[in-house]
């Protein structure tokens, strides 16, 4: 069973409307690379010069990856990676 990546509505134009994409990979980095290989046009939305854009947060099972191992955070089959816009709150 692969990793599940939750796609927020503003990115669904790039995933053919899919709200969730199955991807393979043992880390967040690798799973996202798999997402990009399936839906290449999403790459420039998520990354700028190879780095995750500053106003996007990634969560593995509801935990912010910045408090884990960032893009190297391990993911196991069945876990959920959520992509969430960061500009909220206050």
Q: Which contacts qualify for 63-68: CB closer than 8 Å, 24 or more apart?
A: 65/28
CB nearer to other proteins: pick between 24 and 70: 70
1 sits near other proteins (criterion: CB under 8 A): no
Choice between 66 and 74, CB closer to other proteins? 66
Q: Which residues, numbered 15-44, are part of the site for other proteins (CB under 8 A)?
A: none
Q: Which residues bind other proteins (CB under 8 A)?
A: 8-10, 45, 48, 53-57, 59, 62, 64, 66-67, 82, 84-90
């Amino acid at each position: 069973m692969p990793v599940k990546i939750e796609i927020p509505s503003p990115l669904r134009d790039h995933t053919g409307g899919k709200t969730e994409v199955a991807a393979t990979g043992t880390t967040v980095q690798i799973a996202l690379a798999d997402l990009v290989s399936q839906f290449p046009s999403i790459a420039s939305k998520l990354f700028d010069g190879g780095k995750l854009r500053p106003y996007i947060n990634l969560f593995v099972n509801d935990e912010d990856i910045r408090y884990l191992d960032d893009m190297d955070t391990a993911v196991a089959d069945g876990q959920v990676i959520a992509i969430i816009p960061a500009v909220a709150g206050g």
